[in-house]
Chains A and B, each alone.
Chain A
Amino acid sequence: MKLFECINIVCSYTTIPVLNNISLTINNGDFIGIIGPNGAGKSTLLKCLARILAPVSGNIYYNGNDITAIPKKQYAQQVATVTEIEHLLPYTVESFVALGRFPHSSFGRYDDEDISIIDNAIAYCAINTIKNKKLTQLSSGELQRVNIARALAQSTQCILLDEPISHLDIRHTTAIMDILQDLHRNGSTIITIIHDINIASEYCSRIIGLKQGTIIFDDTPEKCITYHTIEALFDCICLVYNNPISNKPFVYPVPGHIQYNKHRQ
């Protein structure tokens, strides 16, 4: 079933388009990883889906309705977004997660159900131990988990994430991706921008490669992560193996000092 349908979206901050006539269909239950070089338009695409930014032209449909026709609050009840927090304030973790419940409340009042959903979100992301800490005291890994818990409190069908695992160590990376995978197994649709291709390959059910505002490829990791596509996407030399444990494609970007030439082999 179609969840999102983007038709010919064009987006630009100045006169140069950042997204160039993108058409895209996202189905219910997809776990999508958007990859691509910096400045390819990944965040812009996500912002359009999150309604932070309106495309210059083209339409986005959510469940068959044009998203500009859906009231913003109602939209926030169905699509949650995790992006970097612009102004970090010394709120406690618990009260920050509670903000995610706002789209479901009237005049900001929370009933018992709201509070139990907030508690569940906190438990789900395993941040019980830090729930009385201030946001400003958290490490970036903890902060990202808290931010995801806030999105979970929105109890939406779909979650959009902008680089949820950047700057995190491997333990926090897997912890966060495991949370997302668990959500995906429970029927949520996850769309995430991701820079680590190997993590994307392990977890995502579908990979979208974006370059200069156009979609280069869009398929399952097994089909679309090959060295032709990845080299074309990033303009760099890399090798693609099969991960012996998960049998998923595994990308090795070749460092310059190794001077590897694949044509010689």
Chain B
Amino acid sequence: MKMLNKITVWASIFLLPGFIAAIALSMGPTDVTIFSAINNRSATTAAILLLRLQRVSMAFIVGAALATSGCIFQALLKNPLAEPYTLGVSSGAALGATVAIIFTMQWISAFAFCGGLFTVIVIYVIAKKIQFNTTAIILAGISMSFVLSSSVLLLFAFSKPDAIHKALMWLSGDLSMARFEYLQPLGWGILILIVTALLFHRQLDIISFGTRFAAIHGIGFWQISILFWIASLATSITVAAAGIIGFIGLIIPHAVRLLKTEHFLLIPLSAIAGGTMLVIADTIGRTIVMPYEIPCGIITGFCGGIFFLILLLKQKDSI
């Protein structure tokens, strides 16, 4: 019986994302579904499905990257509240994107990426100075976030309303503005980062027990640095591609941790769950009030928050 339960769990872990992707592909303003495409192989159906496939893939990649990054940050910072944006990457990217939207209206992703990367570099230099004292890193990240967010608000104060609206939509995580021409390199890049993180799964296990614990197992500064950069790069890339999508990086690792604690499984499971979650959120966002779109960041924050509260109440001892 227990064995059967296990098989059901594992099968659903791999089948569910595929099933959800199929549903996501079949939903949209035009009435094209996967089944109709099988019966009617016209160029328009194919084109529409391809567009949706890009969108779904983008959502999956971004969700997977955020969940993995959240996993790594929670282990590195030994803080259950750590997430990809704890260190201020999102605020840096937001500032970059806002500057681009207000002044040039182009290169938004590039500006966002540079903004995020700049923040990571500043935090890394600080972290190195304080020898990866985790509480201090978190405080440094929060301080950075405040400085950068204030700068964004300052820019808003001097901008036109339509630019502000556009920036706000971008800031709330909007996959409709995603750069689909970069889908392939993005996918490969994120996959490489996730696989590299997976190679360090035991280090992550050990590091999450504490700094001293890591030291007595011979884990040095370079291993911590590599993990820091994997997580930071994954975050910066996703922010540049799709804006700020909150909550996936926080709740998914926590939810998966209820199932598995070892990072060898935690990372791939989080990636799959994060990707699937964002596909669902994005599908809801683009279909619930058709033909308008709600940025998926709003959906993840809303549904994710409620979902996590339910989970917390159900499993209050194991978190």
Question: B-contacting residues of A (Cβ < 8 Å)?
Answer: 47, 50-52, 71-77, 80-81, 83, 85-91, 95, 99-100, 102-103, 105, 107-108, 154
In the complex, what's the smallest C-beta–C-beta distance from A218 to chain B, in angstroms?
A: 25
B110 on interface, CB distance cutoff 8 Å: no
- Determine the chain A residues whose CB is within 8 A of the CB of B202 once the complex forms: 99, 102, 105, 108
Q: Which of B200, B218, B220, B261 has the most CB of A within 10 A?
A: B218
Is there contact, CB below 8 Å, between A87 and B208? yes
Report the nearest B residue to A105, measured CB to CB.
Answer: B202
Q: Is the CB of A85 within 8 A of B209?
A: yes
> A80 CA to B212 CA in the complex, in Å?
12
Least CB distance, B270 to chain A, in whole angstroms: 16
Instruction: Please give me the residue from chain A that is nearest to B205 by CB atom.
Output: A99
Q: How far is the CA of A236 from the CA of B170 in the complex (A)?
A: 69
Interface range, B side: 20 to 34
Chain B residues within an 8 Å CB radius of A80: 216
| A86 contacts B209, C-beta separation under 8 Å | yes
- B212 neighbours in A (Cβ, 8 Å): 47, 52, 83, 86
B217/A99 in contact, CB under 8 A: yes
Q: State whether A89 touches B261 (Cβ < 8 A).
A: yes
B219 CB contact (under 8 Å) in A72, A74, A91: A72
**Bound CA span A136–B88, Å:** 32
16 A–B contact pairs at CB < 8 A? A47-B212, A74-B218, A76-B216, A83-B212, A85-B210, A86-B78, A86-B211, A86-B213, A89-B261, A91-B261, A95-B205, A99-B202, A102-B203, A108-B199, A108-B200, A108-B201
Known: A99-B202, A107-B199. Contact between A52 and B210, CB under 8 A? no
- For B216, the chain A residues whose CB sits under 8 A away are 50-52, 76, 80-81, 83
Closest CB pairs A-B (n = 8): A86-B210, A76-B218, A108-B202, A73-B218, A81-B216, A72-B218, A52-B215, A72-B220
Interface centre among A76, A88, A89 (most CB of B within 10 A): A89
If the complex has contacts A72-B219, A86-B211, A107-B199, are A102 and B261 also in contact, measured as CB distance less than 8 A?
Answer: no
Contact A77 B217 (CB under 8 A): no
B residues less than 8 Å from A107 (CB atoms): 199
- Give the chain A neighbours of B217 by CB distance below 8 A: 76, 99-100, 102-103, 154
B167 at the interface (CB under 8 A from A): no
A75, B205: Cβ atoms closer than 8 Å: no
Q: A87 to B202: give the CA distance in the assembly, Å.
A: 16
Return A89 CB to nearest CB of chain B, in Å. Answer: 6
Residues of chain B within 8 A (CB-CB) of A91 are 205, 261-262
A105 to B206, CA, bound (A): 13
